[in-house]
A and B are shown apart, each in its own frame.
Chain A
Amino acid sequence: MSQSVEERTRIKSERYESGVIPYAKMGYWDADYVVKDTDVLALFRITPQPGVDPVEAAAAVAGESSTATWTVVWTDLLTACDIYRAKAYRVDPVPGSSDQYFAYIAYELDLFEEGSLANLTASIIGNVFGFKAVKALRLEDMRMPVAFLKTFQGPATGVVVERERLNCFGRPLLGATVKPKLGLSGRNYGRVLYEGLKGGLDFLKDDENINSQPFMRWRERFLYAMEGVNRAQASSGEVKGHYLNVTASTMEDMYERAEYSKEVGSIISMIDLVIGYTAIQTISKWARKNDQIMHLHRAGNSTYARQKNHGINFRVICKWMRMAGVDHIHSGTVVGKLEGDPLMVKGFYNTLLDVKTEINLPQGLFFAQDWASLRKCLPVASGGIHCGQMHQLVNYLGDDVVLQFGGGTIGHPDGIQAGATANRVALESMLMARNEGRNYIEEGPQILRDAAKTCGPLQTALDLWKDISFNYTSTDTADFVETTTANV
C-alpha cells in the first residue's frame, strides 16, 4: 500500500470518475425509459450548437433542468441519484427544419415541491435556457401528473361557477377595455364603464397598465367604477362587473386593493402576468377565500412566447395559469390584431377548458392531459376584434370565452352604448342562427345585416368596420407530420 489515502479511496467507477463526461453518459438519456403516470413530462424544441449531437443536447437539457452540473460530483452517491435524474427519452427532428429537435424529458415527481409553480418553473425554465450548448431552446408543452395537479388549487371560481354567479348561460360573455387606457380621471373613467355596461356588455376592464397613477389614484377608480356597475345593473336587471386591476408594487399593496375591491362590492378583480408566479398563486388563493373572480391579463408574455425557436409556448403558460388558479386569461382571438394561428389558439382554449385533453399535434398538444377536476379557466379574446367578425369569432372560439371589444365598442361613432349594443345584438343573432342549424359561417355577413334591420347601432358598426381585418402570417404555428395511422 504505497498509495496515499486519497488515491486509495478515489472512486473507481467510470461514471463517477472526476472530470467532464457527456450528459447522455451521465444517465440523463435513456431511450428505453418507460414513462410513469406520476412523471412530469416536458417537450422542448432544441436547437443544438453546430456540431453538438441532438441526443447529447437533449440529455444536457434534462441534466441542467434537474440534478446535473457541468462536471461529475461524488456527492451524487449520497442520494438515490438515478431516480432524481431527469431522463430525456425521445428525440425527433422537427419536421421541416434542419437544425431543430423535439426532445421529450421525464422528471420524477419528487423533484418538485407540492403546489408551487415557482419551484416547478425554477427547474424547468431555470438555468437551462441560458445553457451554451444549445443555441436556442423552447418549452413547447408539459404533461402534469394527476398526483401533482391535486396539490394545486386551480381557478378560484372557474367557468361554471362564474356563469352561475353572473346568471349567464349559453352565450360568450361580452367585455371591453376602457379607452384611452391612461389619462382619464376616476369620474370620467366610470362614465365609459357605465355606458358600455348599460349598452349590453357583461364586463368592462381596466387595462394592464392602469394601477394608481397621478391622473387617477386607485380608490377613485374603484369607487366610480362601482357607481357605473350598479347603475348599469339597475338599468338591465343583469349581473355586471368591472375587472379592477389590483396589480401593485408589493403584495401588501395588492392585498389592500383587492380587499377594497371586495368591499366596494366588485365581483371580479384583476392582475397582470408580470407580477410573477408566486404573487399570482397568492392572489388566486385570496380570490377563492373571498368569492372573487380573478382575471389575468397576460402582460409581458409575448416577450418569450412568440418566437418559435426560443422561449415558452403560450400553451404552457395557459397550463401553469390554470394550475396557479386564475379564472380568466387572455388567450388569443384568431382574427384580431394580435398573434394567433387558428389551430394554435384552439389548443390554448382546449388547455384552459378541457376536462381531459387528448394529443393533438395540429393544435400543438403533444401530451394527453387529465385535468384532475381542476376548474376551467375562461379564455378571453381581446385585441382588434369587431362585431363584423362575429361569425368567425363564434366559430373559432365557441361559447366559453369573453369576447372583448375595446376599440370595437368605444370607437362606435354613436357612442359607447351604441357600440356595446351592436356587439350584443351581433352575438345573440349569430348564436341564434347557429343553434337553429344554419350555416352561420357562410351566411354570417347576411345574418348580421338582417339583425341590423332592427338595430341601427349594428348597421352603423358594420358600415364602419366592414373592411378591417388583420391578415398577417402567424409566427407560432404547429410543426408536425400527418400520420395515416392513429395511436402509433
Chain B
Amino acid sequence: MRLTQGAFSFLPDLTDEQIKKQVEYAISKGYAIGIEYTDDPHPRNSYWDMWGLPLFDVKDPAAAMYELASCRKAKPNVYVKISGFDNTIGTESCAMAFIAQRPANEPGFRLERQETQGRFIRYTLSPYATEKPEGERY
C-alpha cells in the first residue's frame, strides 16, 4: 500500500532533481526547510522525528539537499518528508510538505472495528509496521 500523505504522493516518486526544485521554491517563498523521518506512518502522527532543526537561516538549496542525503543515509528504510515552514503572521505553520523517501515495503494499515451499542462502530486505525517496536519496523 502506498502512503499518500504529502503534496505529491500520487505522482511517481520524485527524483533528487525534482526535490531540489521544490526546495528552491520553498526557499524563494521564505519558508524554512524541515527534514523529518518516521517509522510510524499513522496519519495522526504529528511528530515525526526532526533531522536537526528546521533550516531557518539556510538560503542555499544545496545545503538542504545535503541534509536530506545525510538523513537518508542514517535512516535508509523509513519515511522521510520535506516540509516548508511559513512563520509569517496569519500562518505560522507548515506551508508545504511532501514525502522524499519511503521504505521498500509499505504494509499499510489495519482497520479495527469495535462493535459497541446498537449499530454504532468505533474505528481504530493502526499501521501494521508499528506492531513491532520503534527502530525495528521496516
Listed in ascending order, the chain A residues whose CB lies under 8 Å from chain B are: 160, 163-164, 167-171, 200, 223, 226-227, 230-231, 233-239, 263-265, 355, 376, 421, 424-425, 428-429, 431-432, 435-437, 451, 454-455
Contacts and interface: CB of A to CB of B under 8 A. Distances in A.
Contact of B93 (A160, A200, A355, A428): A160
B137 interface: no
Interface stretch (B52-60, B61-69, B95-103): B95-103
Contact of B22 (A234, A236, A432, A455): A432
B11 A169 contact: no
A355 B4 contact: no
Contacts of B93: 160, 163-164, 169
Contacts, number: 109
A432 B121 contact: no
B81 to A, nearest CB: 10
B111 A170 contact: no
A169 B4 contact: no
B90 interface: yes
A237 B109 CA distance: 7
A265 B95 contact: no
Contacts of B4: 200, 236-238
Given A223-B121, A237-B127, 9 more contacts: A164-B94, A168-B5, A169-B94, A170-B98, A234-B108, A237-B3, A265-B122, A432-B11, A454-B12
A428 B8 contact: yes
B22 A231 contact: no
A441 B97 CA distance: 23
A171 B11 CA distance: 14
Contacts of B119: 223
B83 A230 contact: no
A428 B7 contact: yes
A432 B18 contact: yes
A454 B93 CA distance: 33
Nearest to A434: B25
B121 A227 contact: yes
A435 B22 contact: yes
Interface string B116-135: 00011111010100000000
